[in-house]
Structure 1
Amino acid sequence: MRVLVTGGAGFIGSHVVTALRARGHDPVVFDVRTDPASDVRAPDAVRAALNGVDAVCHQAAMVGLGTGFADAPEYVSRNDLGTAVLLTAMAEAGVRRLVLAGSMVVYGEGRYECAGHGVVRPGPRAEEDLAAAWARATGGSAVSLRYHNVYGPGMPRDTPYAGVASFFRSALARGEAPRVFEDGNQRRDFVHVRDVASANVTALESDPHAGALTAYNTGSGIPHTVGEMAEALSKAHGGPSPIITGEYRLGDVRHITADSTRLRTDLGWKPEVTFEQGMREFAAAP
């Protein structure tokens, strides 16, 4: 299968490309990092890239919380407009298989159980309406993999858009203690990038559900706290122990973890890299 991988030179995209090749597929990298003309917002470039393609794995995106509201236009341009341009070009080219990077942030805070108020659930979050509409209109199939906290070799470092694992790893590389916000007990689902790449390939190889968008949580299924992750990295790296700072970052949620049962049941995928293995590898990775 010939697969166009947008963002194929990025952190997750590059691992998807490697996984596709390992399974005998032919990935085509489309990424501004390797070719400035390969911008997913450029209709002509996207149309040309789709020539002879059987499926698309859409990883090109601007991620992270950003540095302020001034980032909003760039996020909308890269993520919303870029996806719209891609979907339009796919419809024109007759390419009907799409697997795209989703995010856990669609859930917001999730459901809580309060001793005083019982079960509390914030208001609903928007689904990926654009991709769902594309699948219905074209008869294509779209799978959205809702990534949780992805980490591993090749993570971007020292930018506002990098994940917390990258910040801790960079601190250790400088000989500094990782700085853990709040009390360190925020629960997350840390999933290794190779497992995420495997989930993408598995979704591309699965039987399509024509005219539908299917969303799957993509995580390890085993929650760990941010403090536990910092401790594991520090121990594996041989660096100083983490410092609990009590600071906080606006926009963060307290706990967000994944139930990936449906992805395992429907597609037969399962994560292979344990938390302990992954942290040992990441602590030593460039």
Structure 2
Amino acid sequence: MEEKVLITGGAGFIGSHLADELIKHGYKVRALDNLSEQVHGKDCERPEYLHDEVELLIGDVRNPEDVARALEGVSYVFHFASMVGVGQSMYEIREYTDVNNIGTAVLLEALIKNPVKKLVVASSMSIYGEGLYKNPQGKVETVQERPLEQLKAGDWELHDAEGNVLQPVPTPESKTPTLSSVYALSKYDQERLCLMVGRAYNIPTVAMRFFNVYGTRQALSNPYTGVLAIFASRLLNNNAPMIFEDGHQQRDFVHVRDVALACRLAMENDEANGQVFNVGSGNNYTIQEIGQRLATVMDKTNLLPEITGKYRVGDIRHCYADISLASEVLGFHPQVDFNDGLEELANWLEGQIAYDRVSEASAELAARGLTV
């Protein structure tokens, strides 16, 4: 008999790609999703991109009845349902805490009554805060948030006690979390709750810390989604991408199909149980470079990124993944070349309509004193 897998948030960007990956490997998939307007638009219908074989239950992860119904006959659970976005989390505090923290608690109480073979929870690189750095002598250091006075002066980099600029290095899972936004706090809460309850009730559990995920099906009209989707929305509307600070901040961009692959491997590998894994590409790019490359593949080279020189509360300078643990334990090796991934994204974007809400989101943050 085919085993059934539940994906909470399974009609979304990452969840739908995971569904494709699981169905391709012989699993039956059920998705529980509330089809949030911010992600899916006003119509709130089953997304066209969702695989025909996915059984979609429209419901809320905070509702015990919806969760109990979704868990019937299920062998594995991926918990992806989440409010996403650092900036918005800093003022929609109750909503983020409710969906991310309470929703996870409701799911876990249901799993105590109906245990499954494995629970895999989506965590986030945002929990690290700043990535790891090394000083001019080569010693690795953890750093604190940059002081406000430094940011106001337009000094964006991290410094040691002597004032030397620190160089970023890949960040492993062993780095102590530094939670600099409500979103980051809620993702860490999801991760720890799942691992803690899983251990207590003998439900094998794995946490996957996603870095900057990109690819087709991203919510282009959501101004708090991933940076590549935000840039794409701007470019589709013939607006230049807006970049905070000086554009030289570095991130790790991983294709959504590689994320889906890593998640399936975590589900199928017993050695993964009880562990936390970075899911990234292992490469790093500056945000300015990303904006320029996307403009090029979208044939919008006249729209060069606009460097705002502003700082957004909760943002960090550099963070990119050390994926050696996922490589060793899961056998995870990213498959999608970044250039190929960008080309595929550009081709998909040609048929998309995006409402560019970046300016209004920026105005909202500024009005609340969340940009400097």
Question: If the TM-score is normalised by the length of the shorter chain, which range does it land in?
Answer: over 0.9
Instruction: Output the CA distance in 2 between the equivalents of 1:66 and 1:169.
Output: 18
Q: Is the aligned partner of 1:62 residue 2:62?
A: no
Instruction: Output the CA distance in 2 between the equivalents of 1:86 and 1:176.
Output: 41
> Which residue of 68, 85, 88 corresponds with 2:109?
88
Instruction: Output the CA distance in 1 between the equivalents of 2:132 and 2:221.
Output: 32
SS in 2 for 1:195: helix
Aligned partner of 1:157 in structure 2 is 220
SS in 1 for 2:288: helix
Aligned partner of 2:123 in structure 1 is 102
Aligned partner of 1:216 in structure 2 is 277
Residue 208 of structure 2 aligns with an amino acid whose one-letter code is L
Structure 2 contact 87–314 (Cα < 8 Å) conserved: no
Gaps of 5+ in 2: 36-45, 47-55, 145-175, 179-187, 350-372
Aligned partner of 1:197 in structure 2 is 260
Instruction: Output the CA distance in 2 between the equivalents of 1:222 and 1:165.
Output: 16
> Which residue of 255, 274, 294 corresponds with 1:233?
294
Aligned partner of 2:154 in structure 1 is none
SS in 1 for 2:281: coil
**Structure 1-normalised TM-score?**
0.92
Structure 1 contact 223–257 (Cα < 8 Å) conserved: yes
Structure 1 contact 4–50 (Cα < 8 Å) conserved: yes
Residue 8 of structure 2 aligns with an amino acid whose one-letter code is T
Alignment root-mean-square deviation, CA: 2.1
Structure 1 contact 112–121 (Cα < 8 Å) conserved: yes
**Runs of 4+ in structure 1 over 4 Å off:** 34-37
Q: How does 1:72-83 map to 2 (within 5 A)?
A: 72-83=93-104
Alpha-carbon offset, residue 4 of structure 1: 0.5
Aligned partner of 1:47 in structure 2 is 68
> Which residue of 2, 10, 35 corresponds with 1:8?
10
Identity %: 42
> Which residue of 108, 133, 152 corresponds with 1:112?
133
Alpha-carbon offset, residue 120 of structure 1: 3.8
> Which residue of 15, 26, 31 corresponds with 2:33?
31
Instruction: Output the CA distance in 2 between the equivalents of 1:222 and 1:146.
Output: 16
Paired residues in the alignment total: 284
Structure 2 contact 22–28 (Cα < 8 Å) conserved: yes
> Which residue of 164, 169, 177 corresponds with 1:125?
177
Gaps of 5+ in 1: none
Alpha-carbon offset, residue 68 of structure 1: 6.0
Instruction: Output the CA distance in 2 between the equivalents of 1:57 and 1:208.
Output: 17
Residue 101 of structure 1 aligns with an amino acid whose one-letter code is A
Residue 243 of structure 1 aligns with an amino acid whose one-letter code is E
SS in 2 for 1:86: helix
Instruction: Output the CA distance in 1 between the equivalents of 2:18 and 2:192.
Output: 25
